[in-house]
């Protein structure tokens, strides 16, 4: 499976499958102005080669793919240049022949497979339909071929899942179905637009592995669009780096990673967290910030020691359990329970960052919300400064919440679109009666400056800001009440890499300056390694391993921790293919029968503070 650095050179000799030259796509802004979104992009794609287009949001990478497929509506967009697929210029073909090419010669898969599948038709029917239409097979032959395809994309029990509807499939399995559909017509070229972005790391690793295997078997070329340098290193032979609508650097992937020439590429690579880069370093570390124009970089320093040791921990959580009943039938009888959080205990000191890591559905977000009593837990205790949060209600609960604030993943959703950001940041002060209107205004100006924005931005509305700026606004609002603890629920996950690095740096600076404690909830293990003092790994609602970050990542004990770490894509093409052992398991569900009794768990101390759950038979083999 290894693809050495010599492969691209051999391939270039063959005639390219896809050749793009001088591609420029403009959108019509209003009546007469055309704004170029993609400018003069050129690259070739050889047979059996994978080219990645990598860039941050708004860099024009998706528009490039849509332009190649001529999927930009004529009324709003104009595509110029040459796109040659196996000798034919796609941009001058009549629409009828273009329809023929889409699906037959070129197939596409997207980020969110559910939107591409018809929810009321069975999976098997939808694939068979594509086969009948594009390859003219009979119904019986198409169904046989469908089952073969579902087998090819490693869907377990393909024959029995043929008649199931899309909602019965998990995200990863749906993406496999989309790949099966794309393969149905044996395309020469597969365009994959962020196909793994919405998936968990272990599932992402499976899909990448599958794509590589299928490429070998089918001999197709892949144009892979992504924002994730780790994924690029994992899959691409050659890479096109896009920035502001232009291809700033095009080269073999290995060379781009080893000797990036363009300043932007250097800035992007510097901002990519690398799992394992923090060995021998106990405290969190800032990201280096590379200037996108000059390419000069600052030297990141280890943060000062912020963790208080003497006193009692700021936050003590013991036996926290949150379950959600699933009701069904006419009288709403409880037919099952989601065991979202199951007997979770940990402590957090002032000035410390504890990361909760795990995959979707593992209960890490519910844990965060339960601590603030935004979700009502079933049992357990949460003490902040020795006060029991879960015993409080009404007035006292509102008072204690001043000490703990929460930041969410999507900063746009967590800001009221009809409130100016100044009003939004002042809202906590006014709601608690802590400041007069003029005091609040001064405080807002102060907070905006503190999170790296300008004081005069207070009058603007959330939609006028970029994603990173919005998250800074959310941080400013969380800081308004002077909290001691901030629960950051995937706070940097939705941000572009370089912005992510800046927001992480801001959070570290604020911790150093104000002695904040963070409960940092994330699925992104590489970022967690960079910014946390301690780590707790969650699986199906339980903490399976907890301890100092260096100890947990340096010496992982629990099989799940190991599995999670193996799945993280490494932004280093030279290490590709050396450590792959990916199973096709799905993430298991935390839904249990109403009478389910969770087993009593045993824990073992590996080293001081590093505790691991003793695991049972389900993890052997």
Alpha helix segments (H runs only) across 219-349? 229-235, 253-258, 263-271
Provide the minimum distance between the beta carbon of 308 and another protein in the complex, in angstroms, as a whole number.
Answer: 24
Provide the minimum distance between the beta carbon of 246 and another protein in the complex, in angstroms, as a whole number.
Answer: 14
- List residues bridging with 250 in a β-sheet: 240
318 binds another protein (CB under 8 A): no
Site residues for another protein, window 36-55 (CB under 8 A)?
A: 37
Provide the minimum distance between the beta carbon of 432 and another protein in the complex, in angstroms, as a whole number.
Answer: 5
Please pick, from the candidates 12, 24, 27, 378, the single residue that binds another protein as defined by CB under 8 A. Answer: 27
CA distances from 102 to 129, 195, 392, 476 (A): 15, 18, 60, 48
Provide the minimum distance between the beta carbon of 540 and another protein in the complex, in angstroms, as a whole number.
Answer: 24
- Tell me how many residues contact another protein (CB under 8 A): 46
77 binds another protein (CB under 8 A): yes
Q: Which is nearer to another protein, 57 or 335 (CB)?
A: 57
Interface with another protein by CB under 8 A: which range of 127-135, 182-190, 427-435, 531-539? 427-435
Count of beta carbons in the 10 Å neighbourhood of residue 21? 13
422 binds another protein (CB under 8 A): no
Please pick, from the candidates 41, 415, 517, 568, the single residue that binds another protein as defined by CB under 8 A. Answer: 415
Please pick, from the candidates 2, 73, 119, 140, the single residue that binds another protein as defined by CB under 8 A. Answer: 73
**Quick one: 362 exposed, middle or buried, by C-beta within 10 A (0-12, 13-18, 19+)?**
buried
Q: Which is nearer to another protein, 76 or 614 (CB)?
A: 76
Site residues for another protein, window 91-110 (CB under 8 A)?
A: none
Report d(CA 342, CA 338) in Å as an integer: 10
What is the residue-wise DSSP string for 560-577? HHHHHHHHSPPS-GGGTT
CA distances from 530 to 159, 272, 354, 525 (A): 45, 11, 12, 9
Interface with another protein by CB under 8 A: which range of 124-132, 206-214, 305-313, 396-404? 396-404
Please pick, from the candidates 132, 141, 318, 427, the single residue that binds another protein as defined by CB under 8 A. Answer: 427
Please pick, from the candidates 80, 410, 572, 586, the single residue that binds another protein as defined by CB under 8 A. Answer: 410
417 binds another protein (CB under 8 A): yes
Q: Which is nearer to another protein, 413 or 614 (CB)?
A: 413
Please pick, from the candidates 1, 15, 29, 449, the single residue that binds another protein as defined by CB under 8 A. Answer: 29
Provide the minimum distance between the beta carbon of 208 and another protein in the complex, in angstroms, as a whole number.
Answer: 22
Q: Which is nearer to another protein, 225 or 537 (CB)?
A: 225
Site residues for another protein, window 543-572 (CB under 8 A)?
A: none
402 binds another protein (CB under 8 A): yes
Which residues have C-beta within 8 Å of that of residue 361, sequence separation ≥ 6? 540, 587, 589, 590
260 binds another protein (CB under 8 A): no
Count of beta carbons in the 10 Å neighbourhood of residue 261? 13
Beta strand pairing call for 603-607 and 610-613:
antiparallel
Nearest alpha carbon to residue 493 among 454, 527, 532, 531: 527
Site residues for another protein, window 478-517 (CB under 8 A)?
A: 478, 480-481
Please pick, from the candidates 35, 282, 334, 391, the single residue that binds another protein as defined by CB under 8 A. Answer: 35
Provide the minimum distance between the beta carbon of 428 and another protein in the complex, in angstroms, as a whole number.
Answer: 4
Provide the minimum distance between the beta carbon of 417 and another protein in the complex, in angstroms, as a whole number.
Answer: 7
Site residues for another protein, window 364-393 (CB under 8 A)?
A: 369, 372, 374
The rounded Cα 479 to chain-centroid distance in angstroms is 26
Q: In what order do the strands lie in the sheet with 221-226?
A: 106-109, 189-193, 221-226, 50-54, 238-243, 246-252
428 binds another protein (CB under 8 A): yes
Helix, strand and coil in the chain, % to nearest 5: 35, 25, 40
Report d(CA 564, CA 582) in Å as an integer: 10
Nearest alpha carbon to residue 227 among 53, 79, 108: 53
Beta strand pairing call for 353-357 and 542-548:
unpaired
HSE on the CB side for 607, CA within 13 Å? 11
Count of beta carbons in the 10 Å neighbourhood of residue 227? 18
Beta strand pairing call for 542-548 and 404-407:
unpaired
314 binds another protein (CB under 8 A): no
Q: Show the binding pattern over residues 155-194: x = contacts another protein (CB under 8 A), - = does not.
A: --------------------------------------x-
Q: Which is nearer to another protein, 25 or 551 (CB)?
A: 25
Interface with another protein by CB under 8 A: which range of 246-254, 411-419, 544-552, 570-578? 411-419
Q: Which is nearer to another protein, 16 or 411 (CB)?
A: 411
Q: What would the two tokens of residue 236 be?
A: 């691409």
Report d(CA 458, CA 100) in Å as an integer: 53
Report d(CA 110, CA 601) in Å as an integer: 41
Could you list the residues that contact another protein (CB under 8 A)? 27, 29, 35, 37, 57-58, 60, 62-63, 66, 72-73, 75-77, 193, 369, 372, 374, 398-399, 401-402, 405-406, 408, 410, 413-419, 427-428, 431-432, 461, 463-464, 474, 477-478, 480-481
């Amino acid at each position: 499976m290894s693809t050495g650095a010599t492969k691209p050179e051999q391939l270039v000799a063959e005639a390219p499958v896809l050749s793009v030259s001088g591609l420029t796509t403009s959108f019509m802004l209003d009546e007469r102005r055309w704004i170029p979104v993609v400018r003069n992009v050129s690259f070739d794609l050889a047979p059996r080669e994978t080219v990645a287009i990598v860039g941050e949001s708004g860099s024009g990478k998706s528009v490039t793919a849509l332009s190649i497929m001529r999927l930009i509506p004529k009324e709003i967009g104009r595509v110029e240049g040459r796109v040659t697929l196996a000798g034919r210029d796609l941009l001058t073909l009549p629409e009828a022949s273009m329809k023929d090419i889409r699906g037959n010669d070129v197939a596409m898969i997207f980020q969110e497979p559910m939107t591409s599948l018809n929810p009321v038709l069975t999976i098997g029917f939808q694939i068979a339909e594509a086969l009948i239409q594009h390859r003219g097979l009979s119904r019986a032959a198409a169904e046989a071929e469908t089952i073969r395809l579902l087998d090819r994309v490693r869907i377990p029990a393909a024959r029995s899942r043929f008649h199931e509807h899309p909602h019965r499939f998990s995200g990863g399995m749906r993406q496999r179905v989309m790949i099966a559909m794309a393969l149905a017509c044996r395309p020469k070229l597969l365009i994959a637009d962020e196909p793994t972005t919405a998936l968990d790391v272990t599932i992402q690793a499976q899909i990448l592995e599958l794509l590589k295997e299928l490429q070998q078997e089918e001999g197709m070329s892949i144009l892979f669009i992504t924002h994730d340098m780790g994924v690029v290193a994992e899959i691409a032979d050659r890479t096109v780096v896009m920035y502001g609508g232009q291809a700033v650097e095009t080269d073999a992937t290995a060379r781009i990673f080893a000797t990036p020439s363009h300043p932007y590429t250097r800035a992007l690579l510097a901002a990519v967290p690398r799992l394992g880069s923090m060995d021998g370093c106990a405290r969190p570390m800032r990201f280096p910030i590379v200037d996108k124009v000059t390419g000069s970089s600052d030297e990141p320093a280890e943060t000062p020691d912020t963790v208080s040791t003497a006193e009692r921990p700021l936050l003590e959580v013991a036996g926290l359990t949150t379950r959600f009943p699933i009701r069904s039938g006419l009288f709403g009888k409880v037919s099952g329970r989601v065991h979202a959080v199951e007997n979770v205990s940990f402590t957090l000191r002032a000035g410390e960052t504890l990361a909760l890591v795990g995959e979707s559905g593992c209960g890490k977000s519910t844990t965060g919300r339960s601590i603030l009593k935004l979700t009502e837990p079933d049992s357990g205790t949460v003490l902040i400064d020795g006060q029991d949060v879960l015993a409080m209600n009404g007035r006292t609960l509102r008072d204690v919440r001043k000490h703990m604030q929460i930041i969410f993943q999507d900063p746009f959703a967590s800001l009221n679109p009809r409130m100016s950001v100044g009003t939004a940041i002042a809202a906590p002060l006014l709601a608690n009666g802590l400041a007069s209107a003029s005091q609040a205004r001064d405080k807002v100006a102060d907070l905006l400056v503190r999170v790296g924005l300008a004081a005069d931005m207070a009058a603007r509305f959330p939609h006028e800001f970029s994603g990173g700026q919005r998250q800074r606004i959310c941080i400013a609002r969380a800081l308004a009440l002077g909290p001691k603890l901030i629960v950051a629920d995937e706070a940097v996950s939705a941000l572009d890499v370089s912005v992510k690095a800046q927001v992480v740096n801001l959070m570290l600076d604020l911790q150093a300056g104000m002695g904040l404690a963070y409960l940092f909830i994330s699925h992104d293990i590489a970022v967690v390694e960079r910014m946390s003092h301690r780590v707790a790994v969650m699986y199906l609602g339980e903490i399976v391993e907890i301890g100092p970050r260096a100890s947990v990542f340096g010496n992982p004990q629990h099989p799940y921790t190991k599995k999670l770490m193996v799945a993280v894509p490494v932004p280093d093409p030279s290490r590709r293919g050396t450590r792959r052992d990916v199973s096709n398991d799905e993430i298991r569900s935390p839904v249990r029968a109403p009478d389910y009794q969770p087993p009593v768990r045993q824990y073992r101390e590996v080293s001081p503070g590093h505790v691991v759950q003793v695991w049972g038979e389900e993890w052997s083999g």
